[in-house]
Structure 1
Amino acid sequence: MPKRNNSSSTPPKEKTLAEARPSSSVILLSPENQVLLLHRVKSSSAFPSAHVFPGGNISEFHDGTVPGPSDLKRHEDSLTYRLGAIRETFEESGILLAREGGKDGKPLNVPVTQRDSARKEIYENKVCFVEWLRSVGGLADIENLLPFTRWITPLGQSRRFTTQMYLYMLPLSTSNDPAISAARSEAIIPTPDGGVEITAARFDDASTWLKKQETGEIVLFPPQCFLLHIISQFLVGPPSGSPSASELVEHYHAQREKLRSFLTTVPTTSDPKAAKHPTAQIAWADKVISPTTLGLRKSDRKSILGLDKPGPELKGSNRGGDWERVVLTRFVKGVAKEVEVRSREEVLEEERQAEKEARETKL
């Protein structure tokens, strides 16, 4: 068979860059510092079968506008992203992150029937979310949303998003909010889309969610697994013994303060080699992560995903993610399997050793 003449062959097509649609999501902490995850159905348009944080696409009707696809500010925290995060959390879980009167008011509590009716009307764009809040004497609690990374879908995917992640801590005092109470017992939640996307909501410890993923009980995609891995270092569950109510509050408050400090502290690593990388000087509140495939692990053919690049839209900017860690996973029919968060240096050293052993075996 004659060799192909590369000089006359058609050049390979470049991967198309689908527009990254703006979206936002919330890592919501209960009064006991447990994390809310929603279970998506198998036929879901995004993250099928997975457990995810509440969130979704920005709506110009409800939230406002974001800069265009060519504007770098499209990938920055803003009022629009914050309103979208609060609205989507309300639509998907029924939990309303709002306050009475203003930012210093107490949490807004709306009766269940009125709440469910509003969720449906907001979902169907019959009433603007901000206007509805105003009509019931409330204001979206944007002040207490803490930015915690942005994720941009890698190049080559047909559906891409630029997703601003936030952390929100519900008050430490016991809440009588029915939506919060329901999520503490994994309620089958009535959703305004009729259950097309989401079936259930539940609060649980970050470490418990990770263990369920490791045993195959639930599906977590790389962003959710990675962020749960990070916060599980701080949210370590209740204290031992039989603490008093005030001791419990102090215990959970101390966890939250350490996590708050972590979000804004640089460098973001104590590892000497990782600290030399420019991304170590980017606080977790500002990191932008667009996973890139570094290769396949020889032992099990899992993809090794680097997390330091900010995505094609921000190439050449001073934005970036996390150089210190990588995510290992395999995708089966679009579903992430066996996701692991590991040290980048450890994984790459294992690969170097595997290559060395393979060469020695051939000799």
Structure 2
Amino acid sequence: MNRTVDPVSTPPEAVPVREAATVALVRDARVGGGLEVFLQHRVATMQFAAGMSVFPGGGVEPRDYRGTRPWRGPEPRWWAEAFTIGEERAAAAVRGVARELFEETGVLLAEPAPAPDPAATGAARPVDPPGLAERRALDAGEGDLDSLLAAHGLILSAHLLRPWDRWTTPLGPRRRYDTLFFVAAVPEGAEPDGGTSEARAVGWMRADDAATAGTLGRLGMLRPTLDVLADLATAADVAELLDTSRTIAPGGH
């Protein structure tokens, strides 16, 4: 999946399609109803979607497949059925998108792990959230999300995510991705930041304003980003969005 190819001599149909996952982080708009969405405006040196406005996310990596730690939320089979993929890939994508979100924005979708014995009367271990050094190490490819959460007595809050869409890069580009799109409400008290070298700027925008800016060319966007934004712009608030039932076409777009 990660083998390199010669873009000059390799025919378009032979370019490998890599697994990826991305998440539209949303919150209720401060004024006027609707949603705000967190966007990253990528640096011009990126190998894919250079200079574009995107949601946090990236490639699903082998380390995301190694996780075995239970999480709170639907089991892998549920995610697999939603995206029409295998259970192993579904579990890896959930871990991968949460890992990428933490690496790129500092927002960690996690909560204290339940006590192993509900009848235990001892004092609960205080939760020590991962720090910046651990975030940077994870971003550099050191360790994996499950190990990080276990070290801090946390579990993944997969119930905060929702499956939303699936897109595959068409023939032509030198890099192609089969990308699973998620949405998630920003956890209470969390604030995403711009602490990633992949973005020149980050920030919250109203979903309808972002969709309009993308349509008019004021912001550079790939079609999947623009289509997801157009969907998000129709929601009255986060609660309505998260209650929306989605049917994702097998194989995506």
Letter in 2 for 1:143: H
1:84 aligns with 2:123: no
Query: What CA deviation, in whole Å up to 9, does each residue of 1:112-148 have, x standing for no partner?
Result: xx53111111122222221111111211112332111
Query: What CA deviation, in whole Å up to 9, does each residue of 1:160-179 have, x standing for no partner?
Result: 111111111234xxx333xx
1:134 aligns with 2:150: yes
The answer to whether the 8 Å contact 2:109/2:160 transfers is no
Q: How far apart are residue 81 of structure 1 and its match?
A: 0.5
Normalising by structure 2, what TM-score? 0.73
Q: How far apart are residue 263 of structure 1 and its match?
A: 2.8
Unpaired stretches in structure 1, ≥5 consecutive residues:
1-12, 66-71, 103-107, 236-251, 265-282, 289-309, 311-319, 322-363
- 3-state SS in 2 of match to 1:16: helix
1:22 maps to: 19
Q: How far apart are residue 208 of structure 1 and its match?
A: 1.4
Aligned pairs, number: 212
CA separation of 1:198/1:109 partners in 2, compared to 1, >3 Å: closer, same or farther?
A: farther
CA separation of 1:223/1:134 partners in 2, compared to 1, >3 Å: closer, same or farther?
A: same
Q: How far apart are residue 215 of structure 1 and its match?
A: 4.7
Give the counterpart of 1:190 among 188, 195, 203: 195
2:202 maps to: 201
1:287 aligns with 2:246: no
Q: Distance in 2 between matches of 1:228 and 1:109?
A: 35
CA separation of 1:110/1:207 partners in 2, compared to 1, >3 Å: closer, same or farther?
A: farther
Q: How far apart are residue 14 of structure 1 and its match?
A: 7.0
Q: Distance in 2 between matches of 1:115 and 1:234?
A: 34
Percent identity, please: 24
1:159 maps to: 175
Q: Distance in 1 between matches of 2:58 and 2:158?
A: 16
Give the counterpart of 1:97 among 109, 132, 138: 109
Letter in 2 for 1:164: L
The answer to whether the 8 Å contact 2:127/2:152 transfers is no
Q: Using CA pairs under 8 Å that are at least 6 residues apart, name the structure with larger relative contact order, 1 or 2.
A: 2
Query: What CA deviation, in whole Å up to 9, does each residue of 1:340-359 have, x standing for no partner?
Result: xxxxxxxxxxxxxxxxxxxx
Q: How far apart are residue 214 of structure 1 and its match?
A: 4.2
Q: How far apart are residue 77 of structure 1 and its match?
A: 6.2
Q: How far apart are residue 87 of structure 1 and its match?
A: 0.3
Letter in 1 for 2:95: L
- 3-state SS in 2 of match to 1:48: coil
Select between 214-223 and 225-234 the one with higher mean Cα deviation.
214-223
Q: How far apart are residue 217 of structure 1 and its match?
A: 3.3
CA separation of 1:42/1:149 partners in 2, compared to 1, >3 Å: closer, same or farther?
A: same
1:230 aligns with 2:231: yes
Select between 158-167 and 211-220 the one with higher mean Cα deviation.
211-220
CA separation of 1:118/1:207 partners in 2, compared to 1, >3 Å: closer, same or farther?
A: same
Q: Which structure would you say has the larger Rg? A: 1
- 3-state SS in 1 of match to 2:204: strand
Unpaired stretches in structure 2, ≥5 consecutive residues:
1-9, 30-34, 68-83, 115-125
Q: Distance in 2 between matches of 1:76 and 1:61?
A: 12
Give the counterpart of 1:48 among 36, 42, 50: 50
CA separation of 1:205/1:18 partners in 2, compared to 1, >3 Å: closer, same or farther?
A: same
